[in-house]
Amino acid sequence: MNEYFDTIEVKRFFKVATLAVCLLAVFLVAKSLSAFKDWSSPSTAQSTIVVTGQGEAYSTPDIASFSFSVSADAAGVASAQDTVTKKTDAILVGLKDLGVDEKDIRTTDYSVYPKYVYQQSVCTVNSCPPSRQVADGYTVSHTITVKVRKTDDAGKALALAGEKGATNISSISFTVDDPNAIQAEARDKAIKDAKTKAEALSKSLGVRLGRVVDFSEGQSGGGPYPMYAYDTVGISAGKSTAPTLPVGQNKVIDNVSVTYEIR
């Protein structure tokens, strides 16, 4: 009988011990995970200062872009299209002869739409009906954007388009083919400006600069973009003189905000 109770007590002891070990293991795992999380997560800066910086960089444009349109009116669509196609092809041949690469010539719009005129109705003694809209043929328009990689030839390209029958020329702009370098230069100057301000501020406050805990930037660009637009009247009449196009310089401005930890 005593042996029976001893066996029960032993079993009960092992159950309690096993439960205690399991609870202890769960507790240790939880503590370990919490410690690992605290160790792996970067500490939040307790004290910080925020400074801003600005940098400017300038570049001389190496690409000129412009758009031209050729439009024609006719009683039928086919006739209007034929006129537009012949004039457009003549301009494209001239641009390629000038050295413009085919990859830098792109159609941006092609439209065909009916034309209407208002016809006055015949008035009678008792009434005068309002004028009515009457079909009067079709208008076809083809718009092309051109990129000229030799800015000295931009004026020649404009004159050529006018001579060959363009009815509208617009959206002249001068840009750089690869803006990354000039943007990086402006950013470096902005960061240097922010760091200089932070060092001066920390000296005045009697603190030491620590690590950078936050950073943001915003860029803007600008510069003189000469814009030329021709009237549809007389644009293709005779030989035109190539306009002088001042290229100027493009300016990139970079603004940064830097947050430093202080000690």
**pLDDT, tens only, 75-114:** 999 999 999 999 999 999 999 999 999 999 999 999 999 9
Residue 101, phi then psi, degrees to nearest 5? -75, 145
- pLDDT digit string (tens) for 170-206? 999 999 888 899 999 999 999 999 999 999 999 999 9
Report pLDDT for 141. Answer: 97
Is there a single domain that holds both residue 74 and residue 137?
A: yes
CATH code for the domain of 75? 3.30.70.2970
| Cα 166 from Cα 173, distance rounded (Å) | 18
- pLDDT digit string (tens) for 194-249? 999 999 999 999 999 999 999 999 877 654 444 333 333 334 445 667 888 888 88
Is there a single domain that holds both residue 114 and residue 17?
A: no
Is there a single domain that holds both residue 69 and residue 30?
A: no
Is there a single domain that holds both residue 102 and residue 172?
A: yes
Instruction: Look at 119 and 42; give whichever has higher pLDDT.
Output: 119
Residue 192 lies in a domain: no
Q: Which of 187, 146, 172, 179 is nearest to 245 (CA)?
A: 172
- Spatial strand order of the sheet with 209-222 comes to 48-59, 250-262, 209-222
Q: Which of 143, 257, 260 is nearest to 200 (CA)?
A: 260
Residue 263 lies in a domain: no
Is there a single domain that holds both residue 10 and residue 139?
A: no
With contact defined as beta carbons under 8 Å apart, do 186 and 253 qualify? yes
Domains of the chain: total? 2
Tokens for 120? 């006055």
Is there a single domain that holds both residue 133 and residue 237?
A: yes
Q: Which residues, other chains included, contact 117 with Cβ-Cβ below 8 Å and sequence gap of 6+?
A: 133, 134, 136
Check pLDDT > 50 for residue 66: yes
Is there a single domain that holds both residue 36 and residue 122?
A: no
| Cα 186 from Cα 250, distance rounded (Å) | 12
With contact defined as beta carbons under 8 Å apart, do 172 and 226 qualify? yes
Is there a single domain that holds both residue 129 and residue 239?
A: yes
Residue 101 lies in a domain: yes
Report pLDDT for 131. Answer: 78
Residue 230, phi then psi, degrees to nearest 5? -100, 150
Q: Which of 75, 65, 159 is nearest to 106 (CA)?
A: 65
- Which residue range forms the structural domain that includes residue 106? 62-176+232-244
Residue 207 lies in a domain: no
Is there a single domain that holds both residue 12 and residue 79?
A: no
**3-state SS, residue 76:** coil
Q: Which of 56, 144, 45 is nearest to 94 (CA)?
A: 144
